[in-house]
Amino acid sequence: MKTTDVEIFLGLDVEKTEHWACALAADGTKIWNKTLPNDEAKLTSIYQELATRGAVLVVVDQPATIGALAVAVAQDIGISVAYLPGLTMRRIADMYPGTAKTDEKDAFIIADAARNMPHTLRGITVSDENEATLGMLTGFDLDLARQITQTSNRIRGLFTQIHPALERVIGPWLEHDPVLEVLASWPTPAALKKAGQARVDAKLKKHGARRHTAWTAILFEALATQHVLVAGTDAAGLVIPHLARQLIALHAQRADVAGHLENLVEAHPLFPVLTSMPGVAVRTSTIVIAEISGKGFTSAAALASYAGLAPITRQSGTSIKSERVSRAGNKRLKRALFLSAFASIRFDPVSRAYYARKRAQGKRHNQALIALAHRRLVVLFVMLRDGTFYDVPVPANA
């Protein structure tokens, strides 16, 4: 960010109920150093008071969640806002004397870093309402996905304990609600045998399972492989119905969120640009739009660093020289780009050729995929910057 015209640097160490605010003049003089309630009226009053003394730049360490109101109020009254990433802030803090960590000290460091090291700041623009909605819904969708995985693993763990053969059959089917309806009605091997093959088949058919006859046959073949009753089976019979109903509800919630996401992202002007790249569909597009909206990236390298896809070089003389994958960056964006790269190698010849070349160079599977994700992100940056669609490269001998 350019801060040549800024006269007052207001650093906010944001908290849930009140922030610590430290305002520094361009020469480093403290002109404000107090707590600031996380309240619109109080924030507006202080911002306007400081604005009477000169151009103000508000710098926060968390632009979302607990810092969202402070950012929104500043943008509403026309004050520039910047974001100092937490990891960068902690590294800068090591340059200051003392080991104590207090809100007052952190707010001062944020303001002083903005004054002396503007290159560490990231600009924050006014977010579009749809982009803000996408960010919230994608976060909720990720929470639902984690809960689904946790609940599914719990069901599989119980069946592994009481009937391993049945778990090997049912485990891969837990994403299907008809199977969960069967488990909710007859949760134990004994209950399934008592219900009989006809009733289980009718239950699967009623709830829309297309292969209900085949699934029923496979299920009862697995049931017939074990006759011993394992300790804890009755207790599992009490738990499994609750877990099955919970998983059905989670599937319904995620489907509802996916419908809203699809409607929102398809109306976004960047959606056609993003989906023109092989391996990028609705879910990946929503995460990309939600995670990069309101953030200005001057180069593809800056975006790759933000996504955690830029390699880190380590070198010391001639004894140490290596490159490794960064463990920093935006985890949600990195995961979405990684999965998108993995999907692209199945049907995109360009991605598949690049992946094969990296594998031939001795890189492991994950390393090759991360290199491919980084390459695709560079292309994606140019597409977003210029508003152009993905153009499949034509071989030189074509």
- The residue out of 263, 281, 298 marking a domain boundary is 263
The number of folded domains in the chain is 3
pLDDT of residue 3: 79
Assess whether 79 and 167 both reside in one domain: no
- The residue out of 126, 148, 183 marking a domain boundary is 126
CA atoms within 13 A on the CB side of 378: 8
Assess whether 100 and 17 both reside in one domain: yes
Q: List the domain range (segments joined by +) for residue 221.
A: 132-263
Per-residue pLDDT tens digits for 261-272:
888 888 888 889
Q: Distance between CA atoms of 60 and 121, rounded to whole angstroms?
A: 10
Give which of 25, 255, 272, 17 is closest to 144, Cα–Cα.
255
DSSP E strands in 49-133: the ranges are 56-60, 80-83, 122-123
pLDDT of residue 149: 95
pLDDT of residue 130: 67
Distances (CA, A) of 241 to 35, 146, 188, 212, 246: 51, 20, 10, 20, 8
Query: pTM for this structure?
Result: 0.68
pLDDT of residue 85: 81
pLDDT of residue 30: 93
Give which of 329, 330, 309 is closest to 379, Cα–Cα.
309
393 part of a folded domain: no
DSSP E strands in the chain: the ranges are 8-13, 18-25, 30-37, 56-60, 80-83, 122-123, 312-316, 320-324
- The residue out of 126, 153, 171 marking a domain boundary is 126
8 Å CB contact between 11 and 109: yes
Mean pLDDT by runs of 10 across the 398 residues of the chain is 85 91 93 92 93 93 85 91 84 84 90 90 69 80 92 96 95 95 95 95 94 94 93 94 97 92 84 91 86 78 87 64 69 90 90 93 91 93 89 59
8 Å CB contact between 287 and 332: yes
Assess whether 218 and 185 both reside in one domain: yes
pLDDT of residue 248: 97
Tell me which DSSP letter residue 120 carries.
G
CATH of the domain at 82: 3.30.420.40
Q: Distance between CA atoms of 334 and 62, rounded to whole angstroms?
A: 19
Which string of DSSP letters, residue by residue, matches 59-82? EES--SGGGHHHHHHHHHTT-EEE
342 part of a folded domain: yes
41 part of a folded domain: yes
| Axis crossing angle, helix 365-386 with helix 300-307, rounded to the nearest 10 | 130
Assess whether 278 and 378 both reside in one domain: yes
Assess whether 258 and 282 both reside in one domain: no
Q: Distance between CA atoms of 208 and 85, rounded to whole angstroms?
A: 49
| Residue 296, helix vs strand vs coil | coil
